[in-house]
Amino acid sequence: MSTNVRRKNQGFTLIELLVVIAIIAILIALLLPAVQQAREAARRTQCRNNMKQLGLALHNYHDVHKVFPIASYYDFSGLDETPPVWDARLNSQWAWSVMILPYLDQGNLYEVLGVGDRTFEQAANDPEGLKGLRSPLPAFICPSDIGEGLNENRPFPDQPGGPMVVPVGTTFAKSNYMACNGNRGDGDGIFPSGGGMVAIKNVSDGLSNTIMVGERRSREGFWAGIWAGQELSDQGITNVWCLAGLTEYQMNTGKHSLDPSDTNAVDNPKIAFSSEHEGGAFFLLGDGSVHFINDSIQWNDSAADSNDVGIYHLLGSMNDGLVVNEF
């Protein structure tokens, strides 16, 4: 009788315990990919929704100002009445993304930054302004791009002899969404270089055939994005590529699309569009629609004005007059 009682009180043997652990491990191994896929699907949905909100904000801005904002502002005195005038001496450096803050329920932040009254640098030199510039905004962050909300890869550089007194190494809130400058360095997109402002009527290729905003992952180092503005280098020159990208460079790889005979052509993934989504990236088109474009989209290594230019290249231009096939 006592022998039977002892047997009933015995626990698992070592072999039985190992078998149970092995079964649990197998179940976890089977379920984990499904859980990860479900999480990534949710992140992709949120990323798409972020871009839709940006598209709505950009079109609301257009309804008010009759033009889209430009990638980076230089002198926007009289913004409500006339388009800003390009003037490097009055370099405000504010980004397109700052201009749409009031349309993203961030009107208070817009006021704290003093947009329209002072430059990006001046705001960064003000404690409250700097606090605002370091505020991560979910609307500009792809959930798949893990990491800090600050762009640690792009510290505010030194400018010897200049007015800047922001400590060297100061970082700003990141952005994974870049304006499309076009398919060439001279800018032929909805956000062209040179300070031009574009209205819907200027997009002759059609809004549904023209990229407005694309993704860039934050691990692209120095060229990773910020939402606040265009920074000055230590030589005192400006650079817009923390705010914008080109379809001239192949998605995710940065392979250059100039004629191979051009000895100046170099691969540059840092100013290309890219993402942490497997197989491609999300893009906001001019009509407000959002598309996931596969990174295997037709892209030809040919001259920018050639009829052989691939579909991806053509999507960057707003007025090249070439037909864009299905993508």
* 177-200 confidence digits (pLDDT tens): 999 988 765 578 998 866 678 999
Give the largest Cα separation in the chain, rounded: 99
Residue 289's contacts (CB-CB under 8 Å, 6 or more residues apart) are 55, 208
Please give the distance of CA 108 from its chain centroid, rounded to a whole number: 23
**199 located within any domain:** yes
Q: What is the average pLDDT score of the chain?
A: 77
| pLDDT, position 106 | 97
**290, 288, 322: which is closest to 304 by C-alpha?**
322
Banded model confidence at residue 102, pLDDT cuts 50, 70, 90: very high
Cα separation values, 183 from 125, 253, 256, 263, 272, Å: 35, 15, 11, 19, 10
Give the number of other Cβ atoms within 10 Å of residue 117's Cβ: 10
Residue 231, pLDDT score: 60
Q: Where on the phi/psi map is residue 167: left (φ > 0), alpha (ψ -120 to 50), or beta?
A: beta
> Distance (Å, rounded) from C-alpha 232 to C-alpha 219?
21
Q: What is the mean pLDDT of residues 91-112?
A: 92
Cβ burial of 326 (10 Å; 0-12, 13-18, 19+) is exposed
> Is 207 inside a domain boundary?
yes
CB 181 within 8 A of CB 193: yes
pLDDT of residue 146: 83
Question: Measured between alpha carbons, how far apart are the two ends of the chain, in Å?
Answer: 79
**88 — pLDDT class (breaks 50, 70, 90):** very low
Give the residue numbers spanning the domain of 280: 136-315
For residue 5, what pLDDT is reported?
52
Confidence of residue 26 (pLDDT cuts 50, 70, 90): confident
- The residues with which 72 forms a beta bridge, in sequence order, are 95
The pLDDT value recorded for residue 160 is 43
Are the CB atoms for 264 and 215 separated by under 8 Å?
no
Residue 254 — very low, low, confident or very high, per pLDDT cuts 50/70/90?
low
Structure tokens at 312: 């991806």
Distance separating alpha carbons of residues 189 and 319, to the nearest angstrom: 8
| Token pair 């402002």 in the structure block, residue | 197
Determine the Cα–Cα distance for residues 74 and 93; give it in Å rounded to an integer. 6
For residue 229, give the DSSP letter: B
Residue 77 has pLDDT above 80, yes or no: no
pLDDT value at residue 308 = 58
186 CB contacts (<8 Å, ≥6 apart)?
192, 193, 194
Residues 6+ apart with CB under 8 A from 91: 74, 75, 119, 238
Closest CA to 251 of 324, 180, 321: 180
pTM, rounded to two decimals: 0.78
Residue 119 has what pLDDT? 83
Residue 218 belongs to a domain: yes
Nearest to 96 by CA among 68, 118, 124, 62: 68
| Of residues 72, 74, 78, the one with CA closest to residue 88 | 74
Is 295 within the bounds of a domain? yes
Task: Check residue 259 and give its pLDDT.
Answer: 45
Q: Regarding predicted confidence, which is higher, 130 or 264?
A: 130
Residue 301's pLDDT band (cuts 50, 70, 90):
low
Please give the share of the chain, as a percent, with pLDDT higher than 70: 71
Q: Which range among 6-15, 127-136, 267-276 has the greatest average pLDDT?
A: 127-136
- The pLDDT of residue 284: 98
Indicate whether 262 belongs to any domain: yes
Phi, psi of 177 (to 5 degrees): -120, 115
Residue 149 lies in a domain: yes
Sheet holding 290-294, edge to edge: 244-246, 177-182, 211-215, 280-285, 290-294
pLDDT of residue 255: 55
With respect to residue 279, please indicate whether it lies within any of the assigned structural domains.
yes
Query: What value does the mean pLDDT take over residues 55-79?
Result: 82
Total tally of structural domains belonging to the chain: 1
Higher pLDDT: 132 or 240? It is 132
Residue 212 has pLDDT above 60, yes or no: yes
Q: What pLDDT is recorded for position 271?
A: 78
DSSP code of 291? E
Query: Per the domain annotation, does 287 fall within a domain?
Result: yes
Pairing outcome for strands 244-246 and 177-182: parallel
DSSP character for 115? Answer: B
Average pLDDT over residues 154-183: 67
Average pLDDT over residues 102-127: 90
pLDDT value at residue 109: 97
